[in-house]
Amino acid sequence: MNESNGNIVVNDDGAFIPRNLFGQSARILSELQQAGVLPQKDAEMNTQIRRAEPIDLSREIRWLKEHRHEYIGQWVALDGDRLVSYGATAREVYAAAHEAGVKSPLVEYLAPTEDMPFGGW
């Protein structure tokens, strides 16, 4: 512990602790829980780590390669190799896909490619 001045103590982690709260960790934790900063004592914390299955986007990538030129400058929403919606904003495209019943569409902006000719040196 390092003393900053008579009212503040700096602990080994660099946290400033008011001297009047020093040693009152139960009170501090309780107040943080009441403020919603920390979970309540009774709340169950799920600390189990789950492995997420990889997402196969091969159909979406193939569709983008084949149809990109048709939707340049647009946002598209894909479900597999099916175009669900397209438009000027990601928000409207996602909303339309969601309304169509697609839970997790691939939403992507198809930017114009600026392929400059390269002559080399």
The CA distance from 95 to 65, in Å, is 24
Helix intervals (H) in 1-121: 25-34, 58-67, 90-99
The full set of domain ranges for the chain reads 2-34, 58-109
Summarised one tens digit per residue, pLDDT across range 45-82 is: 556 777 888 889 999 999 999 999 999 999 999 999 99
**Has residue 106 got a pLDDT over 80?**
yes
Cα 49 to Cα 44, 45, 46: the distances in Å are 15, 12, 8
Task: Pull the structure tokens for residue 66.
Answer: 């084949």
pLDDT at position 56: 92
pLDDT at position 68: 94
